């Protein structure tokens, strides 16, 4: 079976959405992991992204990964349920007046319980407390099937779409 091409959707939010505050749920806590240890970050990244072909951080050296996630303008927020990590949101605040949601997701055991919507709303509220002019992200067809709908429902609007052609796998040699 040949690999499928990937459609990437770029979404943005230019103003804080007008909605009621997200109700608090028992047992949920979000902790800002300041300079998280690399093995812990890799655990979160792999646990959340393993079903969605997340690879951008997987192959980075420890030094390259540390340069990204230990930057003071990178924010890693971890969602916990009853003391156990269930997902994370990584924010890039390096560009003046804008914030990028670089990574966002839940571990598969916790999907479908409304936690993702709650955590996304929490993340949106946190970002707008910094008063950016723009909050943006990209997602793709490899992501969870509900991701694009969830981002749009939260108030993000699409501003760009592109298709990435995946090269066919090389045929094994017949030596």
Q: Is 171 within the bounds of a domain? A: no
Residue 114: CB atoms within 10 A of its CB come to 10
pLDDT attached to residue 106: 96
Q: Is 92 within the bounds of a domain? A: yes
Q: Which residues contact 174 (CB under 8 A, 6 or more apart)?
A: none
Residue ranges making up the domain that contains 68: 6-17+27-164
Residue from 45, 46, 95 nearest 69 by CA = 45
Quote the pTM value: 0.89
**CATH number of the structural domain spanning residue 125:** 3.40.630.30
Domain count, the chain: 1
pLDDT in tens, 107-148: 999 998 889 999 999 999 999 999 999 999 999 988 888 899
Q: Is 172 within the bounds of a domain? A: no
Q: Is 169 within the bounds of a domain? A: no
> What angle, rounded to 10 degrees, do the helices at 147-154 and 115-128 form?
40
Q: Is 22 within the bounds of a domain? A: no
Residues pairing with 29 in the sheet: 80
Q: Which conformational region is residue 114 in: left (phi greater than 0), alpha (psi within -120 to 50 degrees), or beta?
A: left
> What angle, rounded to 10 degrees, do the helices at 38-49 and 62-69 form?
90
pLDDT in tens, 7-43: 999 999 999 998 876 667 788 999 999 999 999 999 9
Q: Is 104 within the bounds of a domain? A: yes
Q: Is 13 within the bounds of a domain? A: yes
Q: Is 105 within the bounds of a domain? A: yes
The band of 171, judged by pLDDT with boundaries at 50, 70 and 90, is low
């Amino acid at each position: 079976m040949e690999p499928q091409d990937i459609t990437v959707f770029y979404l943005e939010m230019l103003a804080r959405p007008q909605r009621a505050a997200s109700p608090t749920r028992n047992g949920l806590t979000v902790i800002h992991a300041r300079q998280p240890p690399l093995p812990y970050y890799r655990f979160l990244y792999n646990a959340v992204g393993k079903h969605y072909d997340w690879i951008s951080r997987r192959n980075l050296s420890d030094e390259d990964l540390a340069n990204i996630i230990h930057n003071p303008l990178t924010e890693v927020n971890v969602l916990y349920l009853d003391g156990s990590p269930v997902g994370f949101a990584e924010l890039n605040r390096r560009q003046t007046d804008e914030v990028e949601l670089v990574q966002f997701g839940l571990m598969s055991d916790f999907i479908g319980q409304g936690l993702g919507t709650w955590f996304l709303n929490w993340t949106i509220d946190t970002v707008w407390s910094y008063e950016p002019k723009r909050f943006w992200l990209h997602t793709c067809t490899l992501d969870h099937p509900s991701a694009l709908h969830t981002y749009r429902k939260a108030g993000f609007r699409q501003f760009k779409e592109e298709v990435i052609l995946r090269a066919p796998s090389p045929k094994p040699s017949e030596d």
